[in-house]
Amino acid sequence: MTQTTYRLGDRTVQRLGYGAMQLAGPGVFGPPKDPAAARAVLQAAVAAGVNHIDTSDFYGPHVTNQLIRAALHPYPDDLVIVTKIGGRRGADGAWLPAFGRAELVAAVHDNLRNLGLEQLEVVNLRAMFDVHGPAEGSLEEPLTVLAELREQGLVRHVGISNVTPRQVEEARRIVPIACVQNHYNLVHRLDDALIDTLAAASIAYVPFFPLGGFSPLQSTTLSGVAQRLGATPMQVAIAWLLQRAPNMLVIPGTSSLAHLRENLAAAELELPADALAALEGLGR
């Protein structure tokens, strides 16, 4: 049976969490069409036992954090809210780097204010050397700022996002790293070796885009496996991630109550050997 919990910083969380990104408007910009429905999804997730929510103040911007606060504050004692900094949104919705000291400090205070917290449990620094994926570049200066905010008690734990293995090594020399958050799924498997390295060090790995980057042929294979198991492709993709490594914390996002229930049901889906073999072939 797949292990259902893992350590995130010094807290224990359910390995299947919730990503709040899709609660903002189209393109993760502006408010949702139905704020009440967005709040209902958050409340349903926590009621179902989710205790790890991933967000950022640059979703919206500010929108998802304000929705989380409206829906869930005062927060349950076991709820771990993870946010990220390092980016900002242009007036046109563009994703822009925000790596300067003043920008990082302001971002932490924005997250604290909009979430209604005195301390952020985990803050991921998102590397923005390339907006679309990991690219080399030193994280020493921004991580030093985050380490100082940690010393001040505004941040409890530090994570990193959109990073290369070399940047992970650099980060671990600067500050204790609670988690690494990168694009990873059945077909996008550049981090295979990194995941195993982090597992050996008891560091959580948080993949995003569980269905991102599939070719039509790969999608057909996934759909075929899902159909045989009486599941949805998303459920199979989530179940595969949960079975891939014990340190994997999965944060599928949705603005739909029905999809939320489907996603959470994936925690109960054990993939048999023949299904795993078929799915492994997709990553080669």
Residues annotated as catalytic are: 59
**Residue whose token pair is 């969380």:** 13
DSSP labels, the chain:
----EEEETTEEEESB-EE-GGGSSGGGBS--S-HHHHHHHHHHHHHTT--EEE--TTTBTTHHHHHHHHHHPSPPTT-EEEEEESEEE-TTS-EEE--SHHHHHHHHHHHHHHHT-SSEEEEEEEP-SSTTS------HHHHHHHHHHHHTTSEEEEEEES--HHHHHHHHHHS-EEEEEEE--SS--TTHHHHHHHHHTT-EEEEE-TTTT--HHHHHHHHHHHHHHT--HHHHHHHHHHHH-TTB-B----S-HHHHHHHHHGGG-PPPHHHHHHHHGGG-
Which candidate, 156, 130, 129, 126, places its Cα nearest to that of 143?
A: 126
